[in-house]
C-alpha cells in the first residue's frame, strides 16, 4: 500500500452508499423475507440455509456474504421484529385518554399483528421453541417491555403508591394477557372477523378485570393477606 505523505486518502464514499452496497442490502432483505415466509408454518430449528437462499433467488453460498449462520439471521429477524413492537408500544403510550386506554391498547395490538403478522408469528413460535440464543433474546426483550410498562403504570393516580414489586407483578399479568391475545390472533384463521371480535372482547374484559382488581388491591382482600390468600 502506497501512502502519499499526510494525505488522508479519504476520497472513499461513506459506507452505506453506492450501487453495490445498496444491492447487497437488498439481497440481505430478500434473505430475511424468505426466512420469515418459510417460518410461517415451521419452526426456526427446521429451517435450512439452502431453502432460505432458494427463496431469496440466490445461490446457497451467497448466504455467507450476509450471515455467518442461520442463527445470526434468526437474531437479525428478532431485532427487526422488536423494532416493530417498540413502534407499537410508542404508539400505545402516546394515547392520552385514560378511560380508553384498554380499548385503545388492544386495538393497537390487533392492528399491528395484522400489519406484521409474519413478525409476530415468528416471535410467538420462537419464544419457547428450539434455538436457545433466540429464546433468550426474545425473553430479554419481553422482560424489558414488562419493566417499561411497570414504570408507565406508576403514573396512574391509583397506583402511585404501589411498591415496585407489585407494579412488576401487575405489569407481568398485563403483558401475559397481551401476549396471549397476540398468540390467539396469530393462530386464528385469517380474515374471520367473528373469531377475532371474540378474542378482542375477551382481551378487553380480561384487562378490565385486572384493572378492577388493581382498584381493590390492598383494601379489598382484607388486611394482611394481600399476597396470596
Site residues (vs DNA, CB under 7 A): 2, 4, 9, 11-13, 18-21, 23-24, 26-27, 48-51, 58-66, 69-70
Rule CB under 8 A: say whether 139 interacts with its own copies. Answer: yes
From 124, 101, 138, 129, select the one nearest 188 (Cα to Cα). 124
Across-strand partners of 214? none
Q: Closest approach of Cβ 29 to DNA, in Å?
A: 10
Q: Point out which span in 6-14, 26-34, 35-43, 83-91 binds its own copies (CB under 8 A).
A: 35-43
Q: Which cell is 161 given?
A: 403508591
Among DNA, its own copies, none, the one that 58 touches (CB under a kind-dependent 5 to 8 A) is DNA
Q: Where are the alpha helices (DSSP H) in the chain?
A: 19-38, 49-55, 70-93, 101-115, 117-126, 132-154, 164-187, 193-216
Residue 196, sorted as left (phi over 0), alpha (psi -120 to 50) or beta, turns out to be: alpha
Judged by CB under 8 A, the chain residues 51 through 110 that form the site for its own copies are 99-103, 106
Between residues 3 and 163, which has the closer beta carbon with respect to DNA?
A: 3
* DSSP-based three-state secondary structure for 204: helix
> Cβ distance 57 to 30 under 8 Å?
yes
Q: Point out which span in 69-77, 84-92, 108-116, 131-139 binds its own copies (CB under 8 A).
A: 131-139
Q: Which cell is 88 given?
A: 407499537
CA 214 to chain centre: 26
* DSSP-based three-state secondary structure for 225: coil
Among its own copies, DNA, none, the one that 220 touches (CB under a kind-dependent 5 to 8 A) is its own copies
> Cβ distance 108 to 178 under 8 Å?
no
Binding track, positions 148-167, relative to its own copies; x by CB under 8 A: ------------------x-
Q: Closest approach of Cβ 56 to DNA, in Å?
A: 9
User: Interface with its own copies by CB under 8 A: which residues?
Assistant: 41-46, 99-103, 106, 124-130, 132, 135, 139, 166, 168-170, 172-173, 176-177, 180, 183, 187, 201-202, 204-217, 220-221, 226-229
Amino acid at each position: 500500500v502506497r501512502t502519499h505523505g499526510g494525505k488522508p486518502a479519504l476520497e472513499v464514499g461513506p459506507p452505506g452508499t453506492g450501487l453495490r452496497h445498496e444491492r447487497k442490502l437488498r439481497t440481505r432483505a430478500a434473505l430475511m423475507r424468505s426466512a420469515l415466509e418459510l417460518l410461517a408454518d415451521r419452526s426456526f430449528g427446521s429451517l435450512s440455509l439452502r431453502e432460505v437462499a432458494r427463496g431469496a433467488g440466490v445461490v446457497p453460498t451467497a448466504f455467507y456474504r450476509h450471515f455467518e449462520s442461520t442463527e445470526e439471521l434468526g437474531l437479525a429477524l428478532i431485532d427487526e421484529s422488536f423494532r416493530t413492537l417498540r413502534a407499537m408500544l410508542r404508539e400505545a403510550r402516546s394515547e392520552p385518554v385514560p378511560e380508553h386506554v384498554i380499548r385503545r391498547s388492544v386495538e393497537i395490538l390487533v392492528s399491528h399483528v395484522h400489519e406484521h403478522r409474519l413478525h409476530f408469528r415468528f416471535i410467538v413460535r420462537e419464544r419457547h421453541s428450539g434455538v436457545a440464543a433466540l429464546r433468550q433474546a426474545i425473553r430479554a426483550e419481553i422482560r424489558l417491555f414488562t419493566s417499561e410498562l411497570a414504570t408507565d403504570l406508576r403514573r396512574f393516580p391509583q397506583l402511585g403508591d404501589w411498591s415496585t414489586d407489585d407494579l412488576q407483578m401487575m405489569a407481568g399479568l398485563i403483558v401475559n394477557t397481551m401476549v396471549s391475545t397476540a398468540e390467539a390472533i396469530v393462530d386464528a384463521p385469517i380474515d374471520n372477523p367473528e373469531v377475532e371480535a371474540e378474542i378482542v372482547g375477551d382481551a378487553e374484559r380480561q384487562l378490565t378485570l385486572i384493572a378492577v382488581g388493581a382498584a381493590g388491591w390492598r383494601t379489598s382482600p382484607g388486611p394482611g393477606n394481600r399476597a396470596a390468600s
